[in-house]
Amino acid sequence: MDEVRLIPVKGLPLVSQGDNLAEMIVDHSSVEIEDGDVLVIAQKIVSKAEGAVVDLNTITASPEAEEISKQTGRDARLVQVYLDEATEVIRIKGRMVITRHKLGFKMSSSGVDKSNVAPKDKMIVVLLPKDPDASCRRLRDDIKASTGKNVAVIMNDSLGRDDRDGSIGLAIGIAGISHLDFRKQTDLFGNEANSRIALIDELAAAGSILMGQANESVPAVIIRGVPFLKDEEASIKKILNL
């Protein structure tokens, strides 16, 4: 691997439910999509296109949500959505509520987010897609239908953790790429150095660098030049230790 390119896809309009994301990405990419490219796409635009949003004005907080609200200073209705999307609360750390999402992810706020969704007074939050792998497969198929090119797709999200400060972009859905990269190599001294690398998470984090967290308006990144093992049965579940 001599060189890896990260190519931001800029200028996409605000995404609404029912939008064709593949068409938007192809139309706004500054390069022609090629076979072997890896498309890293932000969870948020997938969720918006699929209508995975909630109006907090429709939520009634439970006693548990009210108690966590008092501990964290967060809106009790927002906390209720965290609870609705989770199987358990793992830890409360300051204002952070670490949960186990229904999909199996250990993350802050059950992946519920209100940034870059709607004006603050609208009280709209976005959830994770119901099936991120299926979302990635549809996007991959749509890109193939549009361009004739075979790509891998990784959906990423910024996950906060209870054991380290700060969030990091990690994969929450995949298509066309193995969850692990198996390498049989030797080190500088000729010793055997076999490894199992979570390549999808490394690529998800790389994409996050260009995507940013505020008004960068880069919801997708094309990564070119990275060899990967293709997997038509790829699933994010294979990387989770459940």
| Mean pLDDT, each 10-residue run in order, the chain (242 residues) | 91 93 96 98 96 96 98 97 97 93 95 83 93 98 98 94 85 97 80 86 96 76 96 95 68
Residues 214 and 145 occupy one common structural domain: yes
Q: Which domain holds residue 98?
A: 53-126
Residues 235 and 137 occupy one common structural domain: yes
Residue 135 CB contacts under 8 Å (≥ 6 apart), including other chains = 46, 50, 129, 155, 173
Residues 44 and 139 occupy one common structural domain: yes
pTM score: 0.93
For the chain, how many structural domains are there in total?
2
Q: Retrieve residue 242's tokens.
A: 């459940």
Residues 121 and 75 occupy one common structural domain: yes
Residues 113 and 44 occupy one common structural domain: no
Confidence (pLDDT) at 213: 64
Residues 43 and 61 occupy one common structural domain: no
Residues 82 and 14 occupy one common structural domain: no
Residues 190 and 133 occupy one common structural domain: yes
Confidence (pLDDT) at 214: 54
Are 78 and 56 in contact by the 8 Å Cβ rule? The answer is yes
Confidence (pLDDT) at 207: 96
